[in-house]
Amino acid sequence: MKLPFKFKNIHHCEAVVLTCIDFRFWRETLEYAEKELGIKNFDFPSLPGAAKALNDCKSDQEIAMKCISVPRDLHQAKKLVLVNHQDCGAYGGSQVFNGDSEAEQKFHEEELKKAKTKILAKYPDLQIILVYVKLADNGENIEFLEIN
Residues near Zn ion, by CB under 5 A: 20, 22, 88
CB of residue 86 vs Zn ion: minimum separation in angstroms?
A: 9
Considering the complex, state which of residue 18 and residue 129 has its C-beta at the smaller distance from Zn ion. Answer: 18
Pick the closer one to Zn ion by CB: 16 or 20: 20
Question: CB 11 → Zn ion: shortest distance, Å?
Answer: 30
Cβ–Cβ < 8 Å for 18, 80? yes
Output the smallest distance, CB 98 to Zn ion, in A: 19
Q: CB atoms < 10 A from the CB of 62, how many?
A: 13
Q: Are strands 15-18 and 42-43 parallel, antiparallel or unpaired?
A: parallel
Instruction: Please state, in angstroms and rounded to a whole number, the distance separating the CA atoms of residues 130 and 109.
Output: 8
Query: Residues 114, 55: contact at Cβ < 8 Å?
Result: yes
If the CB atoms of residues 75 and 144 are measured against Zn ion, the closer one turns out to be: 144
Q: Which is nearer to Zn ion, 14 or 22 (CB)?
A: 22
d(CA 67, CA 48): 13
Closest contact distance (angstroms) between CB of 22 and Zn ion is 4
Task: Compute φ and ψ for 22, nearest 5 degrees.
Answer: -50, 120
